Amino acid sequence: MTGRLLVLLALMGTTAAHAQDAGAVIGRAARVYRSLASLQADFEQVIDNPMIDSAESRGTLIQAGNAKLAMRFTDPPGEAIVSDGKHVWVYTPSTVPDQVIRLKAPSGGPTYGYNLLAWLLDRPAERYRPTYLRSERIGGRTTDVIKLVPAVPDMPFSEAIIWLDREDALPRRLEIREQSGATRTLKLARLRVNQKVPDRTFAFKVPAGARVVDQ
């Protein structure tokens, strides 16, 4: 048996082993995610909607605990989605000028809706059927690519693909196919975990001249 064939068989064995461990891979990521005191990352987001033009944005994502989340955009500049634990504030003047949407945050669990990481990494064994797709290098790091298909009703997407760092189990990329037909891709870079986050990070100040609309 040639050396090249031995290497090929070894690679096939590694892939098969990971394919059998999709649940273990996503389970480990969920445990790491739940253990974090905070997570910060730079993000790039693309929403590809077949009915309208694609929308691209970028900024910084900061999360602390189950209920606090801040997505502050540098492009489009000044936009923000902030959950302070009591309310979720959505300010997107590029699409809805001079208006802030305020929603009451749910109690007793993670704030879903705008928190894509919580959607995918909170209790995944109960909510999804995972499938191992492949390993892939992202930003010089090896990731395991897992497809998640909802196993329970009333999920806002038909399937999701998540790239999980093989070393630290943190997500590096998400691709979500929403029920509307749109595909949302979120790339994360410069991840920082368990750093102290000032309380003001999750305080939203209504811009001058903007009206607050409760939903």
CATH code at 36? 2.50.20.10
Query: Does 191 reside within a domain?
Result: yes
Query: Does 187 reside within a domain?
Result: yes
Write the pLDDT tens digit of every residue in 114-148: 788 988 998 899 999 999 999 999 989 999 999 99
pLDDT for 157: 87
Token duo for residue 82? 């902030």
DSSP letter for 62, please: E
Q: In terms of Cα–Cα distance, which of 63, 72, 108, 68 is closest to 88?
A: 68
pLDDT for 113: 60
| Domain range for 164 | 19-208
pLDDT for 5: 39
Query: Does 9 reside within a domain?
Result: no
> Could you tell me the pTM of the whole model?
0.85
Query: Does 6 reside within a domain?
Result: no
Query: Does 58 reside within a domain?
Result: yes
Query: Does 12 reside within a domain?
Result: no
Query: Does 110 reside within a domain?
Result: yes
Residue linked to tokens 């649940």: 23
The residue ranges of the chain whose pLDDT is under 50 are 1, 3-19, 108-111
Total domain count, the chain: 1
Query: Does 13 reside within a domain?
Result: no
Write the pLDDT tens digit of every residue in 186-200: 999 999 999 999 999
HSE of 190 in the Cβ direction (CA atoms, 13 Å)? 9
